[in-house]
Chain A
């Protein structure tokens, strides 16, 4: 464990240097995740004119929270892994006496740290546009939201990394992520709070991991009433299932790996 942490710290340091080197690219990526700012305008207006369980201020706060959670849980491991399998660059990682996953985790965390100032700027922009919606969560709420967001990042990462294992068979596994992303968009609460959906859809979605990637952490952050133990329990169950699936697929995949191009 100490060994893994030491390696991880070194990788994180280098990934942070690399992310800073690619700062322009990172800023563009962060800006590409600003859909919630558009949606907060649309839904805020809808809340003002129609009968809805949310006030305009609550709607804006929800989408500010969605923006923060999305920025903190964004995962791209499938594209990185796909590139490495197709070009054979995975080989150099396989020859190191540590699981390649730590390299991807370090890259994600470093990028996340480098994104923090950008997230602060985007949140500032939202509150500048909607000053009536400014809110500061209590330390307990912020800590709970951060914890659940961290857990949801791990499960989201595991889901995409498990799908990435298909690279060993179909090479372009990112098409699977496109399919998964459709479910993510509709069931995560990214487009609208899930309690605006028909009850049966919301109930069904609650058994999938998707609402726990955005909706649940965002609701916790704005101080809504959320069954946190249930959410954490479900994230743990999904995490465990995905971990088992990923390890199984990894072992099968590496047996098939032909290290082409390397």
Chain B
């Protein structure tokens, strides 16, 4: 459904020194430099896949989404979406996609969302009955039926994002580009949006490419992730695989009846934390079972938890461009 081959985008940006002198110099001798926002990115996404696209700020995620949706023209490479060249922005192509940006809105600020929906229904050639049916269906999925007649400016951020989703999905697009759809939302709103996206993907078999700074979005929705850093694709694969590759250990958290010396704890694994009767050990994945049995046998802990490493901690080195290292 999505094909990007050696995709790249270079922006020419002006360089200006600060202050009046810098401004005057810029007027007479304009300096520019090339910024390679995306370099030689290649990936394919199959129909119905839900793929996470992660990277630090400025890594090239949004630029890639803009090229895939046809908003900007690639500097080089080839891109096909649903068998269309996105930048030609043919009507048949635009009817099959949507791009939702968390910090941008298409709803008319001073009018109720229903007024924007009326325009969208006409733009996407939906008969009145069909448009009403779709609005009712999506409104029920998003739980926003009562909000559609309230002016958009009076809605909370979470309510507004739900209405944005409704407006962006009214034409039942086959391809969804989602750029930070949960940005700034509280936990409940984030979960509601996640639940909706999962349901939409299942119900309509839509292909979804999602960027988010909230790893909870990625872990909840995406089995596959693309990791981009400084415009280059660092990783394309399953989330589980990368966690295993980058963090081949587990953390064992212990609560003991009485304090135990660090040297004794070190016999079961690397002591990462020791405070009174609480301790944390880092243990090789393959050694976890043996360590747990030995700890129960010798230390008689009150509580013991084997914890998965936090995904943010696992991915953090990659987002800083430190590479995948040796598996």
Known contacts A3-B125, A14-B108, A258-B11: A91-B71 contact under CB 8 Å: yes
Whether A230 is near chain B, meaning CB under 8 Å from some CB there, is: no
Report whether B119 and A14 are in contact in the complex, using a CB–CB cutoff of 8 Å.
Answer: yes
Interface status of B97 (Cβ within 8 A of chain A) = yes
Chain A residues within 8 Å of B99, by CB: 91, 95
Compute the total of residue contacts between A and B using a CB distance below 8 Å: 72
Chain B interface, number of residues (Cβ within 8 angstroms): 31
Contact A91 B104 (CB under 8 A): yes
Residue of A nearest to B116 (CB): A14
CA distance A184 to B101 in the complex (A): 40
With A3-B125, A18-B110, A21-B111 as known contacts, state yes or no: A97 contacts B73, CB within 8 Å.
no
Is there an interface contact between A96 and B111, defined as CB atoms closer than 8 Å?
Answer: no
**Interface set, chain A 12-43, CB cutoff 8 A to B:** 13-14, 17-18, 21-22
9-residue interface stretch from B41-49, B87-95, B132-140, B265-273 = B87-95
Find the A residue at minimum CB distance from B94: A97
Query: Is B16 at the interface (CB under 8 A from chain A)?
Result: no
19 A-B pairs besides A6-B122, A95-B70 with CB distance below 8 A are A3-B125, A7-B123, A10-B119, A10-B122, A14-B119, A17-B115, A18-B108, A21-B110, A91-B104, A92-B105, A92-B106, A95-B69, A95-B98, A95-B99, A97-B124, A98-B91, A257-B72, A259-B72, A261-B104
Where the two chains meet, the residues of A that have a C-beta atom closer than 8 Å to any C-beta of B are 3, 6-7, 9-11, 13-14, 17-18, 21-22, 88-89, 91-92, 94-98, 255, 257-259, 261-262
Contact sample, A vs B, 28 pairs, CB 8 Å cutoff: A3-B125, A7-B123, A10-B121, A11-B119, A13-B118, A14-B111, A14-B115, A18-B108, A18-B111, A22-B110, A91-B71, A92-B104, A92-B105, A95-B69, A95-B70, A95-B71, A95-B94, A95-B98, A97-B91, A97-B123, A98-B123, A257-B71, A258-B11, A258-B72, A259-B66, A262-B71, A262-B101, A262-B104
